Chains A and B, each alone.
Chain A
Amino acid sequence: MGANQSLPKITAQDKAILDLKLQRDKLKQYQKKIHAVLDREHAIAKSQIAAGQKDRALIALRRRKYQQTLLTKTDQQLENLEQLVSTIEFSLVEVSVVHGLKQGNEVLKEIHKEMNLESVEKLLEETAEAREYQREISDMLANTLTLDDEDAVQNELLALEEAEKEIHPEISLPSVPEQQPVHVVTEGIHQCCYLVSSVSFIISTPDRKPAGTQKVAIAG
C-alpha cells in the first residue's frame, strides 16, 4: 500500500510529549490510589469506633487527613503538567501555522515574480493600442457607406414600417363610459323580482342601456 512511507517520523518532540503524558497518567493513577486509601481509612475509623477504640479511630482519621493534603498537592502538579502539555501542543499548532504562512508567502512571491509592475504596464499599453487599432478599422469600414447609401437604408426602413401598418391596421376600441351608473331602488322592485329573472335576457343583449334605467323600466 505504500502506507509505511507516509508515516511521519517520530521526533524528539513527540517523545517528550509522550513522556509528559505518561507522567500525567501516573499522577492520575496515583490519585486513584489515594482515593482508595481515603475510603479504606474511613472504613477503618468506622470499625474502630464501632469497636469502641476511639484513639485508634483518631489515628486512622489523621492518616486520612494527611492523604487528603497529598491529593490536593497532586492536583496542583497534575494541573501544571496538563498546562505544559497543552502549551506544547498549542505551540506545535502555531509552528504549523507559521509554516503554512511561510509557504503561502513563497508562492505569492513566485507569482509576483512572473507579474512585475513593468510587464503589467506594458501589457496594458499594448492592449490599449490594440483596441485603438480595432476601433480605427471599424471606423474605416463604417465610413465606406456613402450618404446616398445611408438615405436608401432610411427609406427602406420607412417602407418596412408602412408595410407593417397595412398588415395590422389600428383597431379603434370604444372608450370607457365617463358617467357613473345610477342605482335607483324603488319599492315595487321586491314584488316583481320574478320579472327580473324572467327578463334577464335583456341584460345580456349587446346594446343595453345603463343598468339604472333598465331597472326602473322593469319596476314600472
Chain B
Amino acid sequence: MSLSTYTTTSGFLLPSIHSAPPFFTEQPNPTTQATATAQWSRLILAYARHKKLFILRVEDVETSGSDWDEILRNTRINRKILPGYLSNIMEAMVAQNLAVYEPVKQTRSVLVYWRLPEEWAEVLYDWVISTGQLNTILTFYDITDPPLESLLTGIPISLLRKAISILSKTGRSQTIAIADGEGVRFLARSK
C-alpha cells in the first residue's frame, strides 16, 4: 500500500497520511491515537490557515459541501471522520490552547487558533499602522469588513476582542463604548 500526498482543488497539499483509511477512525492503542490526534490537529490548523477558516463544528462532518470537506472527507478512499472522533480531537485542541470553544459552554464548535490571540494582536496593530488609522476611532465592523480585503477580513468578533484587549494591556488600544455599540481607538506605542 503506497500513500501519496494529494493536492485539493483549492490548492491545499494533503499529507500522505490523509490517504490512509485508519486515519479516519479512532485507534484503540493510546500511543497511536495520540499521534493521530496530533496529526489531525496539525492538519486542521494548516487547512484553516490555508482557507482562512475560523470556526470548526462537529456537524461539518455530516453536511457535505462545508468549508472543511476537503480534509474531513476523503472520497478517493471513501472515508470520512466520525463526529465523535472529531469531537475528541477538538477537545484535545482546546486542551492544548490550539482552539477554544466558541461560543463557550458547549462542545460542538470551536474557534481555531491558527494564529494565537497575541499574534492576531500584532497583525491587527500592523494593519492599523499600515492603513494610517492610528488615533482614529474604528468600529468593529470597520475592522472585520474593510472595503478592501485585509488579513483581518472575517475575523470573529470574539477573537478581535481578545486581540484588542491584549493591545490595551500595552496601552496601544482603547475601547470606547456607547449605548449603540462599541468602538476602538489605536494609539501609538507609548515609549
Contacts and interface: CB of A to CB of B under 8 A. Distances in A.
B174 interface: yes
Nearest to A25: B141
Contact of A22 (B139, B174, B185): B139
A199 interface: no
A21 B174 contact: no
Given A10-B176, A14-B185, A19-B180, A3 B142 contact: no
B130 interface: no
Interface in A9-56: 10, 14-15, 17-19, 21-23, 25, 28-29
Contacts of A17: 137
Interface in B154-190: 169-171, 174, 176, 178, 180-181, 183, 185, 187, 190
Interface residues of B, number: 19
Contacts of B178: 15, 18-19, 22
Interface class of chain A by DSSP = helix
Given A19-B180, A22-B181, A7 B139 contact: no
Given A6-B190, A7-B187, A18 B176 contact: yes
B126 interface: no
A205 interface: no
Contacts of A89: 136
Contacts of A4: 171
Given A4-B171, A10-B174, A89-B136, A21 B142 contact: yes
Nearest to B190: A6
B119 interface: no
Contact of B176 (A15, A23, A29): A15
A24 to B, nearest CB: 8
A40 to B, nearest CB: 20
B59 interface: no
Contacts of B176: 10, 14-15, 18
A8 interface: yes
A17 B93 CA distance: 41
A7 B170 CA distance: 11
Top 3 closest pairs, chain A to chain B, by CB: A3-B171, A25-B141, A18-B183
Interface of A: 1, 3-4, 6-8, 10, 14-15, 17-19, 21-23, 25, 28-29, 89
